[in-house]
Amino acid sequence: MEKAIYGMAMPLNDSYYDFDPASNTFTIDKTNPDAVIIDGYVGATMNHDFSRTLGLTGENLILQKNERGVFFKLIPDSPSGLSAYKKVKRGALRHCSCCYFVRKAPRNVQAEQMAAASASAVGIKENIIVREYRKIILYEVCLTNNPANKATFCTIDKDHPLLQGLKWDEHPAGGKDLSPVGRSERTNGGTS
């Protein structure tokens, strides 16, 4: 039986928010499947720490994207990878995350007005900005227990219900959706 870690590093059709107390502003970022471009060279790390790299596309990391999210399969091939596998197996490591560059994220004024009206109705007076990601370039996935989105997960069970419909054996090492991105395309990073 092949040892592998599977996971969803970025749920799509979802939202992330951040609060800036200096400007008293909530920023809501909305994701969608069409916005995500997977870089041609993606690393898998522990806790977004590139000194603890566990895998790379083209070697032992396979990525797939569908309407539900960005998924990965990591085949541990190092002592740190095997350690991560054991942590996932015993449930000590249950989530994941990703890093990406934001290329296009225009404001959605209509959504801002709706959110502000709803917030005002319950006494929230902070400013609200809603951005819709139109183009983001994913360059890292990581295993972590501190994700920005708790809907992420990792498992060693290739038959996990949330992995239904994914066909890992049909894709080359980099996954079907890879489209190499030049360095000039990369700016404005973010995490999920």
CA angle 115, 120, 123 (to 5 degrees): 130
Residue from 95, 93, 85 nearest 156 by CA: 85
Pull the structure tokens for residue 97: 């995350």
Tens digits of per-residue pLDDT, 88-112?
999 999 999 999 999 888 999 998 9
pLDDT > 70: percent of the chain? 88
pLDDT, average across residues 117-136: 90
**Residue 54 reports pLDDT greater than 60:** yes
**Residue 186 reports pLDDT greater than 60:** no
pLDDT score of 189: 54
Question: Distance between CA 95 and CA 102 in Å, rounded?
Answer: 22
**Residue 116 reports pLDDT greater than 80:** yes
Residue from 165, 9, 2, 164 nearest 85 by CA: 2
Please tell me which residue, 178 or 53, carries the higher pLDDT value: 53
Q: What is the mean pLDDT of the chain?
A: 87
Tens digits of per-residue pLDDT, 28-48?
888 888 899 999 999 999 999
Q: Count CB-CB contacts under 10 A for residue 185.
A: 13
